[in-house]
Amino acid sequence: AQSVSQHNHHVILSEAASLELGCNYSYGGTVNLFWYVQYPGQHLQLLLKYFSGDPLVKGIKGFEAEFIKSKFSFNLRKPSVQWSDTAEYFCAVHSGGYQKVTFGTGTKLQVIP
What residues make contact with another protein under the rule CB under 8 A? Answer: 6, 9, 32, 34, 36, 42-46, 49, 51, 90, 94, 98-106
Please state, as a whole number, how many other Cβ atoms lie within 10 Å of the Cβ of residue 67.
20
Minimum CB–partner distance for residue 80 and another protein (Å): 26
43 vs 70 by CB, closer to another protein? 43
Phi, psi at 87, each rounded to 5°: -175, 180
Minimum CB–partner distance for residue 109 and another protein (Å): 15
Cα(80)–Cα(90) distance, integer angstroms? 19
User: Which DSSP symbol is given to 23?
Assistant: -
23 vs 81 by CB, closer to another protein? 23
Minimum CB–partner distance for residue 16 and another protein (Å): 28
Cα(3)–Cα(30) distance, integer angstroms? 14
72 vs 103 by CB, closer to another protein? 103
37 vs 111 by CB, closer to another protein? 37
CA proximity to 102, closest of 33, 51, 43, 41: 33
